[in-house]
Structure 1
Amino acid sequence: MNSTYLENGTDTKMISTPLYMYLWVTFMNVAMFITGFFGNTLVIIVILRYKNMKTITNCCLLNLSMSDLLTLTICQTSALMEFFSHDRWILGEALCQMIPFLEILVTHASILIMLGISYGRYFAVCYPLESYSTCSRTRAFMMMASAWIFAGISAMPFIFMSHTETAKFTNDNTEVTVCRTHISQVWQRIFIVVSFIAFFVIPCFILAFVYSKTIYTVITESKKIENATNVSKQNSMKSRQQLVVMLLMIVILFFLFVLPMRIVILWLVFENPRTIGSLGFEGYYNIIWIARVLQYTNSAVNPIIYNVFSVKFRKAFAKLLFSSKRQTRQLSLTSSGGRTAIRYSFVKSSIKETEFH
């Protein structure tokens, strides 16, 4: 969340940020942005580019990568701008309303997408015949669209709760524009609690049940196939096991990385402002930024999980990266001179003739 949760007054105390905070906040955020942006972009490209990657599960993971990219490019960058400008808001009223809305939207959408993916795996593993007859890409697309729409509706109140206002630095009485999300009315606090329960607590229990049942079924089926001589069935089971473990890791890390920020939000909403103020500037902002960095880490770590646990993703990533290098080399050879280009083209055509004749 942006720091709009943090203050209820109209005065802001101008305190110089310690050097170590600049260093660790900058380093961690830059590392997470580069890792997440590069990784999620690769995921989207390989799913859209390679036909064998266009499975129903991967189409859902594509939506998850889109959600992570929105978090990194919009929410993280705006939070950093606010940090380096000492809480000043320079992006205008419209973005002050839209960014908190987008941050909640992508978080809720991610949870709903994971619920959809996990239910699909549960259905495919535990009820394969029914899954084969009912699952389709059209239904998957409709499910993803519904997830984004419902997440957007659930985040709408933040548009009305967030706005810019004028504050004063108490040191020199300088007026600055800040972005605030005031959560003081009863309905606003009820909304925060209901959102936490509906989009965190309940999904956590649902996913715990779904994966416990899925893992139990996979283990039971694996024992039956261990002694079988059918290689294709064994390979299919290994692939299924890899996918289940990968999705389980995504879910576990999501809740671990997002939970601190959810707790911080509840704490800021319900804790006495004097108690929060007693932490001091450094204590307060370190808590906020640790929670933020963990949330941004969640948006960066998924492509790493795909690469570690999925052979298909690992091969697709390698194919994309190495093919890009080959194309770059070909272009450099072609542009280095006519004679070299002719020789290189001749070698390629000779190879093709050798392969197909």
Structure 2
Amino acid sequence: MLALLNIHILIAAIASCCIYSLGIFTMATTFVTQMLLSTLENTASNETTLSWRRPFDDVRVGAVAGLLISLMILGFFGNLLTICVILTSKKLRNIFNQFILSLCFSDLISACISWVNLYRWTWGFDDFALPNFFCWFYWGADVCTSYVTAMHILSFAILRLISVWKPFVFTRITVVHGRIWILVMWMIGFMCGFIPFAYLSGASTPDRSDLLSATAGWPACTQKLETILQYKLMIHITYPLFLYAPCIGILLVSIATMTGLLSKRREKTKKRTISVASDAWKQEKKAKKERQAILQLVLIVGSFMIGYIPFTIFEFWTVANTDQSFSGRRTEWMFGVVQNIFLRFSECLNPMFYNLASAKMRSETLHFLTQKLYKSCFRTKELNRTDTSSAMSNKGLQL
């Protein structure tokens, strides 16, 4: 009965997550459709206009800002909550959760800098009024966290594969090994992502005088024109190495992991004989853990694909795009906004997926919210009341 109830709860959680995903996807699709229709209606008149026009209006800016700010807040607090839960829980101190902790930290950085990307695509599109530091730091941190996230998820999938195919080898991998592994990935991401892309980026007033120029429709905060060739070379080398290759590796490793689990399950079924109830209970418990492991891997990989496939496609497309008409610039702007929405949406999904795929994570998150966080706030209020009462009593005595 309890197992059936857990299954129903899991199905309900998955359904809720799907409904939430569908809602966000519907809003994004509706938004894109409206902009495309508007583009088709205004193309004829816009093509004859020689003066520069922004590829968006205030209505679109308001809609984009409202959606992205909401996703930024959800992503920030969701990942911060997961970080606090893992750090304060002794039950979650295993190697897999160390990788999840680092992934949450990467998503938290992305959420913290996402407002810069919103600004550069909207109010700061023509004039990036913020200090140049925010521009180059955003580009460096954004690419760094993207590379780190891809390497983390590939590493997570490899660990799952080792735990299935070579469980004896997996027992020798400790939390310390995992932390060293994570540190190396952050160092690679910093050296190959942050440093070069921060150097190649900057904010300047774009030249809109020649509307046929390849860079006429670019935002003010973008790649430096004097190093644009180096930028193209970097994305052609590092994107396949740190994004596309991990994507392929993640898919192959995930398939191998699931194949291994199914193969072991078939072998156990063939060897199974009449056993006592306690043995059956142990087998069911182990099978449940295997199902949760598969679910966790599928959800994490799926979330990564949702966020980073549109991101990488847009980066290659925008460099190769030669359509400098008003409709072409508006299409590029819409593509940039939509891929950013999917990326922020992926960051919001990750904390939900971590809890959805792990009963222990859900339990510890609930314990943190209801016990540690609530009691901490309650004690603070009680101390404030006590201090206020003491101050009033002392004041009365002085009178």
TM-score range for the pair, normalised by the shorter chain length: 0.7 to 0.9
Partner of residue 314, structure 2: 264
**Matched residue count:** 320
**Aligned runs of 1:214-293 on 2, under 5 Å?**
214-225=257-268, 227=272, 229-272=279-322, 275-293=323-341
Matched, 1:13 2:52: yes
Partner of residue 137, structure 1: 175
Aligned pair in 2 of structure 1 residues 159, 328: CA closer, same or farther (>3 Å)?
Answer: closer
Partner of residue 98, structure 2: 59
Residue 81 of structure 1: how far off its partner (Å): 2.5
Aligned pair in 2 of structure 1 residues 212, 16: CA closer, same or farther (>3 Å)?
Answer: closer
Partner of residue 352, structure 1: none
Of 131, 154, 178, which residue of structure 1 is paired with 2:220?
Answer: 178
Where 1:180 maps in the other structure, the secondary structure is strand
Residue 125 of structure 1: how far off its partner (Å): 1.1
Residue 122 of structure 1: how far off its partner (Å): 0.8
**In 2, distance between residues paired with 1:278 and 1:22?**
17
Aligned pair in 2 of structure 1 residues 334, 94: CA closer, same or farther (>3 Å)?
Answer: closer
Moved more, 50-59 or 238-247: 238-247
Aligned pair in 2 of structure 1 residues 239, 334: CA closer, same or farther (>3 Å)?
Answer: same
Partner of residue 351, structure 1: none
Residue 44 of structure 1: how far off its partner (Å): 0.3
**In 2, distance between residues paired with 1:86 and 1:123?**
47
Query: What are the superposed Cα offsets for residues 105-137 of structure 1, whole Å, 9 maximum, x if unpaired?
Result: 00000011111111111111110012112x011
Where 2:205 maps in the other structure, the secondary structure is strand
Aligned pair in 2 of structure 1 residues 162, 330: CA closer, same or farther (>3 Å)?
Answer: closer
Partner of residue 157, structure 1: 196
Where 2:199 maps in the other structure, the secondary structure is helix
Residue 281 of structure 1: how far off its partner (Å): 4.9
**In 2, distance between residues paired with 1:322 and 1:261?**
37
Matched, 1:81 2:131: no
Partner of residue 163, structure 2: 124
Moved more, 311-320 or 241-250: 241-250
Query: What are the superposed Cα offsets for residues 36-91 of structure 1, whole Å, 9 maximum, x if unpaired?
Result: 111101110010001001111101111100100111101x1111222223432233
Normalised TM-score (structure 2): 0.73
- Taking only aligned residues, the RMSD between alpha carbons, in angstroms, comes to 2.8
Normalised TM-score (structure 1): 0.81
Aligned pair in 2 of structure 1 residues 93, 336: CA closer, same or farther (>3 Å)?
Answer: closer
Unaligned runs of 5+ in 2: 1-50, 210-218, 388-399
Q: Is the 8 A contact 1:225 1:233 kept in 2?
A: no
**In 2, distance between residues paired with 1:103 and 1:97?**
10
Residue 16 of structure 1: how far off its partner (Å): 8.2
Partner of residue 41, structure 2: none
Residue 231 of structure 1: how far off its partner (Å): 2.2
Where 1:84 maps in the other structure, the secondary structure is coil
Partner of residue 148, structure 1: 186
Residue 232 of structure 1: how far off its partner (Å): 2.7
**In 2, distance between residues paired with 1:113 and 1:144?**
8
Matched, 1:47 2:86: yes
Aligned pair in 2 of structure 1 residues 163, 216: CA closer, same or farther (>3 Å)?
Answer: same
Query: Which residue identity does 2:374 align to in structure 1?
Result: K
Q: Percent identity?
A: 19
**In 1, distance between residues paired with 2:65 and 2:132?**
26
Partner of residue 300, structure 1: 348
Query: Which residue identity does 2:107 align to in structure 1?
Result: D
**In 2, distance between residues paired with 1:16 and 1:30?**
21
Q: Is the 8 A contact 2:204 2:221 kept in 1?
A: yes
**In 2, distance between residues paired with 1:62 and 1:163?**
31
Q: Is the 8 A contact 1:161 1:181 kept in 2?
A: yes
Query: What are the superposed Cα offsets for residues 197-247 of structure 1, whole Å, 9 maximum, x if unpaired?
Result: 112221122112211111111122334456563423431331132123212
**In 1, distance between residues paired with 2:206 and 2:258?**
54
